[in-house]
Amino acid sequence: MEKQLEENFEPEKGFIKGEPLRMIYHNDEEHFSIALVKIIDTNESFDESEIVLKGHFSPLDEGEHYTFYGRVTNHPKFGEQYQVEHYQKEVPTSKEGIVGYLSSDLFYGIGKRTAENIVAILGEQTISRILQDPSVLKDVPGLKQDKADRLVADLKQHQGFEHIVIGLSEYGFGLQMAQKIYEAYQDQALEILQEDPYQFVFDIQGFGFKRADEVASHNNIAFDHPTRIQAACMYALNQGSSHGHVYMTFEALQDEVLSILQGSSGVITHEIISREIAQLVEDEKVLVEQDKVYLPSLFFAEAGFAKQLHRVMLSELEEEFTQAELMKVVGEIEDEESISYGKEQYDAIEKALHSKMMILTGGPGTGKTTVIKGIVNAYAKLKRKSLKPADYGKDEPFPFLLTAPTGRAAKRMNESTGLPAVTIHRLLGWTGGESFDKDQNNQLSGKILIIDEFSMVDIWLANQLFRAIPSDMQVLLVGDEDQLPSVGPGQVLSDLLSTDYIPATQLQEVYRQKEGSQIIRLAHDMKKGKCDEESLAKSHDFSFITCHEPQVLPVIQQVYQKAMARGHTLKDIQILAPMYRTKNGIHQLNQEIQALANPPSRQRREIKMKDDLTYRSGDKVIQLVNQPESGVYNGDIGEIVAIYKADETKEQKEKLVVSFEGKEVEYLRKDLNQLMHAYCTSIHKSQGSEFPIVILPVVRGYSRMLKRNLLYTAVTRSKQSLIICGDQEAFKRGVDTVDTNRRFTDLPDKIKIYMEAEVKDEEELNEEELSPYDFM
């Protein structure tokens, strides 16, 4: 009998239900993968909130839910992992879709448990039943009347949206993606999704090709359908631009498309892909020049910038100054400012004033700001121009235009020069979308334009800016070529420096190092690829605290507490990290430092979001998207100064107010995806900024991101104090690792074509003007 019971007894299968945080490794040929997932539910005896999976499975989509079946294993070096035997993607039912919709941030006060109770009572027709007869909510136990009334009001407001959310939930889409889809297509969303899901890849930000492929497969769209192959081509080009490429070579694009269409590579060939690229060219969706394939916007941005650059360079200076005149005014400036310019700095001022356009580069402490100020003051004296904007009227605009890619960089320019400085977007009058108030038909007014942090400017913005520059304006481009390139496509500063057509000055003498700054010494050692004991020596402004990975968070907390105890504000202290979803990543550090620096209290109001995310009065936050109508832009850092309850606002909705350097911007709950906590930000987001105190964790878990230009950018963000904590060997390896990911751009060649065409035209013109009398 016991034997029979044993034979009939099947132990419960071990499983982990989770959400992928990141793919660590994937081999296309063997389909072997390693991934880190956040655990949502499990029957395994595992206490951690995250686990590493390994096994034979395809790349996983972040934000989706999967159930993995397998067993826990113990790796001798990396600890507990989960060996996946098979898995399945979670697809919600209609009821689950309704629960997800009602418990979303659209409906104040309705949590998941309440939503489940409502659906359990009212079934799959929950929403239509409530809208037809709100009194049915009286049958839901525990639902108070005020919450029921609020739910009915919100349902009426979002009427028409719910069937899109519920319909999309059957394909596995969450509320945030459903909102984006609904904004783009309104009531046609489900119809378009069923007919051509690949259209979503181009119209909806964050809608990946694999997700469209899943929907297409569900709707029985053929794997070799032309639309699918064309969509893969467009997706590959868009992905390329997100990695900084302006174009892709024909061969690279074909290979990438085959990789995207994995599983059907035996049927889809290079010839088929070439045919569909040709169709895209005919439809004017892509452009091909020689073996380069472009998105049209990038082709015209690159070609347009080269043309506008040539136009500005072609015109001559209105007036030049003698050496004696320049030496006289520079001497006056030195007396007035109580400074003494080095030879390198004087030569830079002289070259800038004698050049239609010049590039000024140099690392920290080399005096770029001093030179900028010297150029402005010398120009003002030589041209007899006032440096006070109030002295100018409509007839004569203020001649000095100072700008930078970010608000914080512009603010630094203003503080260091005493002159007005704005972001490039504001200078050009950007109102959102692709339109700018300033362009070739309505150009900027002024005489000299200085653009700081030019390494951050991508090819799109460079083209828009140069279209608006009048031919008689002098231009100074300032940057540090060793920092990270622009987030957007192109490497404009690097490309300009690689040509011989634009005068350039590199400042090399370090002035701040003479004052004993170890930060400056480390930065310049890193530029040379050097990082030894002397580079990392402890000093009054620098410390490297060596610790193991589990100790990094407690060390950061201790450093942060000490800084606050010494009177530093949250604004002064900035943690920088390269990754979001790791144990010492940006998300976790923000959560931990918020608990330390701005803990819950009766005096601080809160708005609770999903995934244990809470916004609290006094929190430090960062804007994630451009919002020109409110005057805030991606990367601006502010503080939450007020939170209002729903019954305290005219919209009858919760509201949060953020102050960005005194400019207050309001956010409803649905807008809070535009914000993120900013106790810790990414190194990329910190470009163009400086902070009194920078804390930089460096651990082996960051290894794939640690490159010299990334670490150099982080180090050079600190003004007064830099604390690096973690693994010294990981830091040194990062300094040794040069970023070899070449960006595909054709800007130098396009500039060369324009410049050489000018020389050729001049030669032909000279030949035409010659006559026999010229030789007599």
How crowded is residue 680: how many other Cβ atoms within 10 Å of its Cβ? 27
Model confidence over 26-81: pLDDT tens digits?
A: 776 666 788 888 888 888 877 777 888 988 777 787 767 788 888 888 877 667 88
Do residues 385 and 428 touch, judged by C-beta distance below 8 A?
no
- 746/290 Cα distance (integer angstroms): 12
Task: Give Cα separations from 168 to 97, 190, 192, 417, 443 (angstroms).
Answer: 8, 7, 12, 54, 46
Average pLDDT taken over every residue of the chain: 86
CATH 2.40.50 fits 15-69, yes or no: yes
DSSP assignment letter at 14: P
Closest of 499, 441, 493 to residue 470, by C-alpha: 441
- Does residue 363 or residue 769 have the better pLDDT? 363
Q: How do strand 50-56 and strand 32-42 relate by DSSP bridges?
A: antiparallel
How crowded is residue 320: how many other Cβ atoms within 10 Å of its Cβ? 11
The whole-number pLDDT of residue 422 equals: 93
Model confidence over 609-661: pLDDT tens digits?
A: 877 789 999 999 999 888 888 888 888 999 999 999 888 888 778 899 999 98
pLDDT at 148 over 60: yes
Q: Among 104-118, 447-461, 750-764, which range has the highest average pLDDT?
A: 447-461
- 673/619 Cα distance (integer angstroms): 15
The whole-number pLDDT of residue 598 equals: 95
368 labeled part of a ligand binding site: yes
Model confidence over 536-589: pLDDT tens digits?
A: 999 999 999 999 999 999 999 999 999 999 999 999 999 999 988 788 899 999
What residues contact residue 67 under an 8 Å CB cut-off, 6+ apart? 15, 16, 17, 87, 88, 90
- 276/286 Cα distance (integer angstroms): 11
* Edge-to-edge strand ranges of the sheet holding 620-623: 663-668, 655-660, 637-644, 620-623, 675-677
The whole-number pLDDT of residue 23 equals: 81
The whole-number pLDDT of residue 634 equals: 86
User: What is the amino acid identity at position 523?
Assistant: A
The whole-number pLDDT of residue 90 equals: 67
The whole-number pLDDT of residue 176 equals: 72
The whole-number pLDDT of residue 464 equals: 95
393 labeled part of a ligand binding site: no
Do residues 639 and 659 touch, judged by C-beta distance below 8 A?
yes
Model confidence over 262-314: pLDDT tens digits?
A: 755 457 888 999 999 999 999 999 999 999 999 999 999 999 999 999 999 98
Annotated domain spans of the chain: 15-69, 203-290, 305-507, 518-736
Q: Span 203-290: which CATH code?
A: 1.10.10.2220
3-state secondary structure 373-395: HHHHHHHHHHHCCCCCHHHCCCC
> Residues of the chain with pLDDT > 70: what percent?
92
Cβ-in-10-Å burial (0-12, 13-18, 19+) of 628 comes to middle
**Which own/partner contact pairs does 36-40 have at CB distance under 8 Å and 24+ positions apart?**
36/581, 36/582, 37/66, 37/68, 40/65
Q: Among 22-36, 82-96, 113-127, 199-213, which range has the highest average pLDDT?
A: 113-127
Model confidence over 421-440: pLDDT tens digits?
A: 999 999 999 877 677 899 99
CATH of 518-736, one of 3.20.20.10, 3.40.50.1820, 3.40.50.300, 3.40.50.2020: 3.40.50.300
Closest of 391, 415, 389 to residue 401, by C-alpha: 389
pTM of this structure = 0.78
Same fold, 203-290 and 518-736: no
The CATH topology of domain 305-507 is: Rossmann fold (3.40.50)
Of 49-53, 61-65, 96-100, 204-208, the one with minimum mean pLDDT is 61-65
367 labeled part of a ligand binding site: yes
At residue 434's C-alpha, the angle toward residues 432 and 438, to 5°, is 85
User: What is the amino acid identity at position 91?
Assistant: V
Cβ-in-10-Å burial (0-12, 13-18, 19+) of 458 comes to buried
93 labeled part of a ligand binding site: no
328-336 mean pLDDT = 91
Q: Among 7-11, 722-726, 759-763, which range has the highest average pLDDT?
A: 722-726
Token pair for 165: 């959310």
- Based on C-alpha coordinates, what's the Rg of the chain? 30
Do residues 137 and 120 touch, judged by C-beta distance below 8 A?
no
Token pair for 366: 């080399």
How crowded is residue 637: how many other Cβ atoms within 10 Å of its Cβ? 22
179-187 mean pLDDT = 79
State the helix-helix crossing angle for 708-715 and 728-736, rounded to 10 degrees: 120
Q: How do strand 357-362 and strand 542-546 relate by DSSP bridges?
A: unpaired
Do residues 732 and 760 touch, judged by C-beta distance below 8 A?
no
The whole-number pLDDT of residue 519 equals: 93
567 labeled part of a ligand binding site: no
How remote is the C-alpha of 301 from its chain's centroid? 20
Token pair for 674: 């535009």
- pLDDT band at 514, cuts 50/70/90? low
